A = this chain, B = another copy of it.
Amino acid sequence: MDITAYMTQVGQAARAAATETARASTAAKNTALLAMAQAIRTRAPELLAANADDLAAARAAGLDAAMLDRLTLTAKSVEAMAQGLEQVATLPDPVGEISDMKRRPSGIQVGKMRVPLGVVGIIYEARPNVTADAAALCLKSGNAAVLRGGKEALRANQAIAACVREGLRAAGLPETAVQVITTTDREVVGRMIALPEYIDVIVPRGGKSLIERISQGAKVPVIKHLDGNCHVYVDDAADPAKALRIVENAKTQRLGTCNTAESLLVARNVAATQLPAIARMLTDHGIELRGCEETCRLLPQAVPATEDDYYTEYLAAIISVKVVAGLDEAIAHINKYSSSHTDTIVTENYTHAMRFLREVDSSSVMVNASTRFADGFEYGLGAEIGISTDKFHARGPVGLEGLTSQKWIVLGDGEIRS
């Protein structure tokens, strides 16, 4: 297979389809989404059979249990996929939304209209449900999509792609509005990220190494979802009950998510009074504590942390702990070690809360709330294509709005510039 020729053909088809998705009515897009959901329900047995073949091949190839788990579809997860499509249909259509119209002294009215980005390329790993999610978000935001899933999920992805095409057809939209790459050739990724004439933005979903590799080679903008080394800072003005509750939820509710807390900072003034109870709670949850010297003096169960620990996203039953002088050191520590994902302060002090909000340079900054809230659904975006730790364009949970841009519009009555 000539990958360059194949990708050029995919790119040209996507670019042509993007013109149609950009001007598609909300009704047509929603019709397509609902028809996709219906097709997924109807064809659930086919999807599960395709997935069973993927799983058999993956087992034969010796893939580990975690990978097999991500790869597995069940009747329940297929139904969830269909419901996810229906939910995107209920979200407001961002395309064409006009905002900030102002009349200028010249007489013209100037404002902004929200428009699609064009063609979105998504590169992901084993989870087949990403195929449906990404198709839905790209279509609803008026974009065409080129989806390249992991090779392990090829059969299930193609079965889902057939449902997506069925939905597009039902709504009179071009089937090429969502194209799922049909080859597992790794060269596809290299081509996808180097086609600025056909693909406007790349969204990699997967491990940090995949994302870094793509970002380095990309000739188009990349919406990056890197790691989540999230912090909870227990301020000297923290309410102890809130601190205990928030640390517990942020660290222990789920260990493997990007918004899980990986590091705990405690103000020196309250370390002796609050840290032992927090540590006991964490130990009861089976969490290992890796602490600074002061932490280790206060907590018999803590082991010494290295410098590397403070940079680490464990995604495991481990937390790093540091006693800091107060707000200034906490902010400086977070801005140095955090991955700019999500950081929270627990405090009753107004000025500390405002300074933390203003000065911590992360995509989500919180006061008295668990880092676990950093999520498209919790923020009211309805769904997300990823969480961007970048500053350019989209930041934090990226929903429909992050897949759009705004152009300026001017409404005149024959005005000319003098």
Q: Is the CB of A369 within 8 A of B113?
A: no
**What per-residue 1/0 map shows which CB atoms of A340-383 lie under 8 Å from chain B?**
00001000000000000111011111111110111000111000
Distance A359 CA – B378 CA, assembled complex (angstroms): 33
In the complex, A249 has a CB within 8 A of chain B: yes
In the complex, A284 has a CB within 8 A of chain B: no
Distance A96 CA – B416 CA, assembled complex (angstroms): 36
- Residue from B118, B363, B392, B407 within 8 A of A363 (CB atoms): B407
Nearest neighbor of A358 in chain B, beta-carbon distance = B96
Q: Is the CB of B104 within 8 A of A416?
A: no
Instruction: Classify chain A's interface size.
Output: 35 or more
Nearest neighbor of A413 in chain B, beta-carbon distance = B368
Q: Is the CB of B113 within 8 A of A409?
A: no
Given the interface pairs A106-B373, A391-B118, the reply to whether A368 lies near B415 with Cβ below 8 Å is yes
Q: Is the CB of A361 within 8 A of B22?
A: yes
Nearest CB on B from A174, distance (A): 16
- Chain B residues lying within 8 Å of A410, measured Cβ to Cβ, are 344, 364-367, 369, 373-374
Q: Is the CB of B364 within 8 A of A408?
A: yes
In the complex, A3 has a CB within 8 A of chain B: no
- Chain B residues lying within 8 Å of A405, measured Cβ to Cβ, are 391-392, 395
- Residue from B104, B250, B414 within 8 A of A380 (CB atoms): B104
- Chain B residues lying within 8 Å of A370, measured Cβ to Cβ, are 412, 415-417
Distance A114 CA – B412 CA, assembled complex (angstroms): 30
Nearest CB on B from A197, distance (A): 13
**What per-residue 1/0 map shows which CB atoms of A65-95 lie under 8 Å from chain B?**
0000000000000000000000000000000
Nearest CB on B from A387, distance (A): 10
Interface stretch (choices A237-245, A268-276, A308-316): A237-245
In the complex, A4 has a CB within 8 A of chain B: no
In the complex, A406 has a CB within 8 A of chain B: yes
- Residue from B117, B372, B379, B395 within 8 A of A110 (CB atoms): B379
